[in-house]
A and B are shown apart, each in its own frame.
Chain A
Amino acid sequence: MIGNQVALIRRELWEHRAIYVTPLVIALIVSIMAITGQAVVSAFDQAVDLAILGASNLGPAERAAAITVLMTGVSSLLIMAMWVLTIFYALDALYAERKDRSILFWRSLPCTDAETVISKLITAAVVIPLVTFAVIVITHLVVLALASVWLGFQGANAWHLVWRPAPLANNWTATLIMLLALPLWLSPFIGWFLFVSAFTRRSPLLVAFLPIVILPMLEKSLIGTSLFVDAFFIRTASLPLFRGMSTGDIFSYKGDEWSLNGEVPSGLLSLMDLSRFFGSPSLWLGLVVCALFVTAAIYVRRYRDDS
Chain B
Amino acid sequence: MTSLVSARNVSKSFGSVRAVDDVSFDIEKGKIMGLIGPNGAGKTTLLKAVLGLTDCEGTLSVLGLDPFRQRKELMQNICFIADVAVLPRWMRVNQLLDFVESVHPRFSRPRAEELLARTKIQSKSKIRELSKGMVTQLHLSIITAVDAKLLVLDEPTIGLDIIFRKEFYGNLLNDYFDKDRTILITTHQVEEIENLLTDVMFINDGRIVLHASMDALPERYVELMTSGENAERARRLNPIFERDVFGKKVLTFEGIAREQLRGLGELRTPGIADLFVAKVKGATA
**Residues B90 and A15 in contact, CB atoms below 8 Å apart:** yes
**Residues A100 and B75 in contact, CB atoms below 8 Å apart:** no
**Residues A110 and B103 in contact, CB atoms below 8 Å apart:** yes
Give the shortest distance, in Å, between B176 (CB) and chain A (any CB): 15
> In residues 63-97 of chain B, which contact A (Cβ within 8 Å)?
71-73, 75-76, 78-83, 86-92, 95
A57 within 8 Å of B (CB atoms): no
**Residues B89 and A107 in contact, CB atoms below 8 Å apart:** no
A104 within 8 Å of B (CB atoms): yes
User: Which residues of A are found within 8 Å of B90, using beta-carbon distances?
Assistant: 14-15
A101 within 8 Å of B (CB atoms): yes
User: Which residues of A are found within 8 Å of B82, using beta-carbon distances?
Assistant: 104-105, 108, 307
Q: Which of B79, B95, B98, B99 contacts A108 (CB 8 A)?
A: B79
- Contact size range, B: 20 to 34
B194 within 8 Å of A (CB atoms): no
A134 within 8 Å of B (CB atoms): no
Given A7-B103, A110-B105, A111-B103, is A102 in contact with B76 using a C-beta cutoff of 8 Å?
no
**Residues B86 and A102 in contact, CB atoms below 8 Å apart:** yes
**Residues B53 and A102 in contact, CB atoms below 8 Å apart:** no
- Name the residue of chain B whose CB is nearest to the CB of A103: B86
User: Which residues of A are found within 8 Å of B76, using beta-carbon distances?
Assistant: 110
User: Which residues of B are found within 8 Å of A307, using beta-carbon distances?
Assistant: 82-83
**Residues B55 and A303 in contact, CB atoms below 8 Å apart:** yes
> In residues 83-98 of chain A, which contact B (Cβ within 8 Å)?
97
User: Which residues of B are found within 8 Å of A14, using beta-carbon distances?
Assistant: 90-92, 95
How many residues of A are counted as interface, with CB atoms below 8 angstroms from the partner's CB atoms? 26
Q: Which of B53, B89, B139 contacts A100 (CB 8 A)?
A: B89
A4 within 8 Å of B (CB atoms): yes
Hey, what's the 0/1 contact readout for A279-307 against B, CB within 8 Å counting as 1?
00000000000000000000000010101
Which one of A10, A105, A107, A303 has the greatest number of beta carbons of chain B within 10 Å?
A105
**Residues A6 and B87 in contact, CB atoms below 8 Å apart:** no
- Name the residue of chain A whose CB is nearest to the CB of B81: A108
Given A109-B100, A305-B54, is A102 in contact with B88 using a C-beta cutoff of 8 Å?
yes
CA–CA, A4 and B73, complex, Å: 14
**Residues B72 and A112 in contact, CB atoms below 8 Å apart:** yes
- Name the residue of chain A whose CB is nearest to the CB of B82: A104
Hey, what's the 0/1 contact readout for B41-75 against A, CB within 8 Å counting as 1?
00000001001011100000000000000011101
**Residues A100 and B102 in contact, CB atoms below 8 Å apart:** no
**Residues A108 and B88 in contact, CB atoms below 8 Å apart:** no
CA–CA, A266 and B83, complex, Å: 61
A3 within 8 Å of B (CB atoms): yes
User: Which residues of B are found within 8 Å of A103, using beta-carbon distances?
Assistant: 86
User: Which residues of B are found within 8 Å of A109, using beta-carbon distances?
Assistant: 75, 100, 103-104
24 A-B interface contacts by CB (under 8 A): A3-B102, A3-B103, A4-B103, A6-B102, A7-B99, A7-B103, A10-B99, A11-B99, A15-B88, A100-B86, A101-B83, A102-B86, A102-B88, A104-B83, A105-B86, A105-B87, A105-B139, A106-B88, A109-B100, A110-B73, A110-B76, A110-B105, A111-B75, A303-B55
Supply 18 further A-B pairs (C-beta < 8 A) apart from A11-B95, A104-B82, A112-B71.
A3-B102, A4-B103, A8-B103, A14-B95, A100-B88, A100-B89, A102-B89, A105-B88, A105-B139, A106-B88, A107-B71, A108-B51, A108-B78, A108-B79, A109-B75, A110-B103, A110-B105, A305-B54
Closest 7 pairs between A and B when the two form their complex, measured CB to CB: A7-B102, A104-B82, A102-B88, A110-B75, A104-B86, A110-B76, A101-B86
